[in-house]
Structure 1
Amino acid sequence: MYPILFKIGPLTIQTVSLFHSSAIFLGGFWVYHYAEKEKINKEKVLEMLVLITIYSIIGARVFSILFDGSLKWYLSNPLKMFALWNGGFTFYGGFIFGIVVGIWYIKKHRLNFWKLADLFAPALALGLAVGRIGCFMSGDSYGKPSNLPWAVTFTNVHSSAPLGIPLQPTQIYSVITNLLIFIALLWWKKKQKFTGELFLLFAILYSITRSFVEIFRNDPRGVYFGGIISTSQIISFFVMLLSVFLYSKLKDKNKIKIKNQLSRSNIRRG
């Protein structure tokens, strides 16, 4: 594909960097634009966006270095840890760091966590879809060898993927699944029954689809039990369990709230 966008002297700008930046911009624009419609302070949202973006990038980089199988190489080339323009990010690292910073900011300013989480959910799905296009262009997160008619062959010498071998287009699988999640969240928003539902649905759907796509990936990353399971699949499992638990708790809490409201309404009528 086209891993290198352009060069300026010794500086090489990777295509993946453009798409990752675009993903952050689009996601941030979505959150900022819809904050007003959700009656959320836009200034607070913007400030939180900046903080979450910075720490999400740090988290995504840290997880990539620690769990993608290149730790020894980074320890031998420590300055490469800071070469962010060359790619090398793990979503779950950014997700976890972003959640932690978001919770800290929300508690500090006494904001509604679940309301903000719902605001971020579609933006996350959209941003992930755009970001994975960059992975496809650069050959990152490539798939296993395949004879399927839609298998892709990378030929650019700067690509991260093996050259001349038909591979599963796992990046495109991720683009499609994340776009479907984005569309599903927009559709479900009209039927949303309780605050926090959208975000938890995103977490559940993403963890399931991510685990599925991981089956077909073949790029160097953290794997266990002889390559049967990856770091992302382990994290996805726990994210899904936690999200299902929280979904059930919030759903039950909402039912009790509605029941109490109906009881008070009946008392007033009586």
Structure 2
Amino acid sequence: MILASIPSPARGVWHLGPLPIRAYALCILAGIIVAVLITRKRWAARGGRADDVLDISAWAVPFGIVGGRLYHVITDPELYFAAGRQPIKALYIWDGGLGIWGAVALGGLGAWIGCKRCGVKLSAFADALAPGLVLALAIGRFGNYFNQELYGAPSTLPWALRIDASHRPADTPDLATYHPTFLYESLWCVGVFFLLLWAEKRFRLGYGRLFALYVAAYTLGRVWVEALRVDHANRILGLRLNIWTSILIFTAAVVFLVLARRGQPASVASGRAAEDDSVIGDDEAHSGGGDAPGDDLQRKAAK
């Protein structure tokens, strides 16, 4: 007998006349807003122009959404293009299905374009972005909760998620409660957020190393969360494709952390000249004793 469980929302769509307001989209939008606000504050603390974040986001966000959807459709084409399926639904992003790997990859391309146009260094911007990005993921995962999707194996734990009959797997139609993997991943992302703030202050990470730590920490958690999920996924050697992707990306991130260059603080400026000699990047690692120029600014950014 199940004594307690997390109820699923009664609905995930509200209508304002003919206009549907979808909780999935609202969660993603809320995550983007939080990421932009946090990054603006962190970027300005590093000596960058706060408006750079909006300009870069104007490229990174749409690229990221397209990339996330492309990754999902390419890795699970049978959901849309197999016999009896409706290919047009590959465009229905409101039904769920945004792969984080594609979002980061193509979103990174958009960010690179935005950084080039603003004349700032991508690595410095990525480090400023990392905490806000992982918090955006934590918020965005609640969109899966409203869609009643991407849950885990059947469970009778007190925090198991109750799934409506219409959303349950075909092979377990009579089982009502499952692992709330959306919640596991969201809580993991919150933990990574605080890890990044601590590590930035403790180890003075820069030159893209803070972003690499985000990638490594997120993928480490994604492996065990992914292993619990029961939704459709293609497999390689018995493991879900996203587990293999997580392992490969985790390995690359750790290698980058180990091999990334260290040295004097770098300016946030790239294509343009820094307007102020005190404007620095995000790496305070330096040789010799005493404080490097810009240490006070960096300490402020790490708070």
- TM-score, normalised via structure 1 length: 0.84
RMSD: 2.6
Q: 2:30 & 2:169 partners in 1: Cα distance?
A: 23
Q: Which of 10, 31, 39 pairs up with 1:31? A: 39
Question: Does the Cα contact within 8 Å between 2:80 and 2:87 map onto a contact in 1?
Answer: no
Cα distance, 1:188 vs structure 2: 2.1
Counterpart Cα distance in 2 of 1:113 and 1:25: 20
Report the CA distance between 1:65 and its aligned residue. Answer: 1.3
Matched-pair identity in %: 23
Higher helix share: 1
* Residue identity in the other structure for 2:203: Q
By how many angstroms is 1:161 displaced? 6.3
Q: TM-score, normalised by structure 2?
A: 0.76
Deviations 1:183-222 (A, max 9, x none): 1112222223231232111011001000111110011133
Deviation at 1:7, TM superposition (A): 2.8
Name the structure 2 match of 1:224: 236
Match of 1:90 among 66, 85, 99: 99
SS where residue 31 of structure 1 aligns?
A: helix
**1:146 alignment partner in structure 2:** 155
Q: Deviations over 1:129-180 (max 9, x none)?
A: 10112212221211111233332221274x4767642211111110110010
CA deviation vs aligned residue, 1:71-93 (integer Å, no higher than 9, x gap) = 42599423323223222211111
Displacement after TM superposition at 1:10 (Å): 5.9
The separation in 2 between residues aligned to 1:121 and 1:22, in whole angstroms, is 16
Whole-angstrom distance in 2 between the partners of 1:161 and 1:5: 22
Aligned AA (1:6): W
Within the candidate set 71, 76, 86, 1:77 is matched to 86
Q: Distance in 2 between matches of 1:76 and 1:155?
A: 23
Aligned partner of 1:258 in structure 2 is 286
Of the three residues 255, 261, 265, the one matched with 1:245 is: 255
Report how far residue 67 of structure 1 moved.
Answer: 1.5
- Tell me if structure 1 keeps the 8 A contact 2:209–2:256: no
Distance 1:160 1:119 in 2: 40
How far, CA to CA, are the matches of 1:72 and 1:160 in structure 2? 22
| Aligned-pair CA distance for 1:49 | 0.6
Flag structure 1 segments of 5+ consecutive residues without an equivalent: 266-270
SS at match of 2:41: helix
Native 8 Å contact 2:138 2:190 kept in 1: yes
Q: What residue is the counterpart of 1:184 in the other structure?
A: 195
Which segment is superposed worse, 188-197 or 58-67? 188-197
Give CA-to-partner distance per residue, 1:32-51, whole Å, 9 cap, x none: 23321121122332111111
What letter corresponds to residue 231 of structure 1 in structure 2? Answer: L
- In structure 2, the partner of 1:194 is 205
Q: Distance in 1 between matches of 2:27 and 2:97?
A: 13
Correspondence 1:130 to 2:150: no
- Match 1:236 to one of 246, 253, 267: 246
Secondary structure of the 2:21 match is strand
**Aligned position for 2:278:** none
Secondary structure, aligned partner of 1:143? coil
The separation in 1 between residues aligned to 2:193 and 2:169, in whole angstroms, is 28
Structure 1, 194-203 or 98-107: larger mean CA deviation: 98-107
Shift of 1:12: 4.0
SS at match of 1:70: helix
* Superposition deviation, residue 101 in structure 1: 2.3
Q: Distance in 1 between matches of 2:263 and 2:247?
A: 26
1:4 and 1:14 in contact (8 A); partners too:
yes
* 2:70 corresponds to which of 62, 77, 85: 62
Answer whether contact 1:14 1:86 (CA < 8 A) is retained: no
